[in-house]
Amino acid sequence: MYYLHEYSSVPRAGVIGVHLVLLTLAVGAMVTAYRQSYRPARPLALAIWFLGTGVLTLFAVIKGGQFPATARPFIYGYIAFIWAVLAFGVCLTFMRGRIPSDQLESRGIGRQVFAALGMVLSLGLVIALLLPAVPHAGEAARRTECRNRLKKIGLAFRNFEEAKSTFPGSRNGDPPHSWRTAILPYLDQSELYEKYDFTTDWDSTGNEPVARTPVRFYQCPSREHLHVNKLTRDEQGRYYSHCAMIDGPGTVGTGVRSGEIDDGTSSTMLIVEACGLDIVWTEPRDVNVETQPAGINLPSPTPGLSPGWASSHHRGGVQVLLADGSVRFISEKIDPQTLKSMTTISGNDALGDF
């Protein structure tokens, strides 16, 4: 399954492989330290231990680079810890020359070291099992914030309709401009709205500073969390919008009043997450249901992109703003016909579960 939330996906077999390698490294380091506490290791034995550990470490580092950025510090830190344990075992070799063997055995240094390392490494593995819950908790908070931002956009649409007697269309005026610039005053962004020149093209030199100014309501917190500039801005430093309007014949993108939505505002999509389209937020471009493939989080040969109608960095689906101002999470497994039915305003389609 393809997910935008992971800039490069990791197959389940790769995840299991990395865990097995880490476990092998931990056990190997413990055995080495235990053996070193009793007798000096032969040079060949040490060479084999370090060569084997080096190969496994290289594998773990390569695979670890494919994991999300938030998981890498733990993987690399744990590898460094294992090497420290291995080095500690080698240091015990030099202790052998300073402490008589009978004292080593009588004091039970080997067993003490083995027990201590076992406890520490076991604790490390327990932490490894618990840590994945921390990113999930953080993602839940980011998903809630994303929902709240979409609700703010929905409220701005309602206020725009009260003032103008219609929803903004996906393209407004001549030259055309985006709905995202049209509703700025209703998002408490009047100052930025005044800086935008509606008499010139959206990508004119005069409008460049506005495009380089982020508007948090158009940004998904989960994408911001990745801290990868090329995911949030283009080469000119203009910020992408992570949401887009449903556009095409018979959709809200044509600019309609809420009373004209015969299919019901509670079942008609107005705005969807579209992180995979890389739309500059001032650009009058949205989701065209006629030319783009229907689907959510559709795969793409380019990491971070998705050509479908909706795409997000949330696992399993996307959040959509309905025409009544409510926000729903739509599964990427939704029936395509149901998804299509949610884009029309007067299709009189039978709507399935979503």
**Confidence check: pLDDT of 268 > 70:** yes
Phi, psi of 347 (to 5 degrees): -85, -15
**Confidence check: pLDDT of 78 > 90:** no
- pLDDT for the residue 346: 86
Q: Please answer whether residues 212 and 253 qualify as being in contact, where contact means their C-beta atoms are separated by less than 8 angstroms.
A: no
Pairing verdict, β 243-247 and 287-288: parallel
Residue 301 pLDDT class (50, 70, 90 cuts): confident
Tokens read off for 308: 């479908």
Nearest CA to 72 out of 140, 142, 141, 8 is that of 8
- pLDDT for the residue 73: 63
115 or 348, higher pLDDT = 348
- pLDDT for the residue 244: 96
What is the Cα Rg of the chain in Å? Answer: 28
Model pLDDT for residues 135-173, shown as the tens digit of each residue: 555 778 888 899 999 999 999 999 999 999 999 999 999
Q: Please answer whether residues 89 and 35 qualify as being in contact, where contact means their C-beta atoms are separated by less than 8 angstroms.
A: yes
Pairing verdict, β 269-273 and 317-322: antiparallel
- pLDDT for the residue 104: 47
- pLDDT for the residue 245: 97
Distance CA 31, CA 272 (A): 55
Average pLDDT rounded to a whole number, residues 15-42: 57
- pLDDT for the residue 95: 55
Mean pLDDT for all residues in the chain = 77
Amino acid 87 reads A
Distance CA 300, CA 304 (A): 8
- pLDDT for the residue 113: 53
Distance CA 318, CA 322 (A): 13
Full-model pTM? 0.66
Omega of the bond leading into 68 within 30 degrees of 0 (cis): no
**β-pair partners for 223:** none
- pLDDT for the residue 314: 87
**Confidence check: pLDDT of 305 > 70:** yes
Distance CA 318, CA 284 (A): 22
- pLDDT for the residue 196: 97
Model pLDDT for residues 172-223, shown as the tens digit of each residue: 999 999 999 999 999 999 999 999 999 999 999 999 999 999 999 999 888 7
Distance CA 178, CA 158 (A): 17
Q: First and final CA of the chain: distance in angstroms? A: 20
Residue 328 pLDDT class (50, 70, 90 cuts): very high
DSSP class of residue 344 equals -
Nearest CA to 316 out of 265, 268, 280, 273 is that of 273
Tokens read off for 57: 């470490």
Tokens read off for 254: 């044509």
Q: Tell me the three-class secondary structure of 109-173, residue by residue.
A: HHHHHHHHHHHHHHHHHHHHHHCCHHHHHHHHHHHHHHHHHHHHHHHHHHHHHHHHCCCCCCEEC
Residue 66 pLDDT class (50, 70, 90 cuts): low
243 or 94, higher pLDDT = 243
Omega of the bond leading into 175 within 30 degrees of 0 (cis): yes
Nearest CA to 117 out of 77, 75, 84 is that of 84
Residue 2 pLDDT class (50, 70, 90 cuts): very low
Average pLDDT rounded to a whole number, residues 275-280: 92
Average pLDDT rounded to a whole number, residues 343-353: 71
Distance CA 345, CA 322 (A): 11
115 or 286, higher pLDDT = 286
Helices (H), the chain: 12-36, 43-64, 72-96, 101-107, 109-130, 133-164, 179-182, 190-195, 208-211, 221-224, 229-232, 336-341
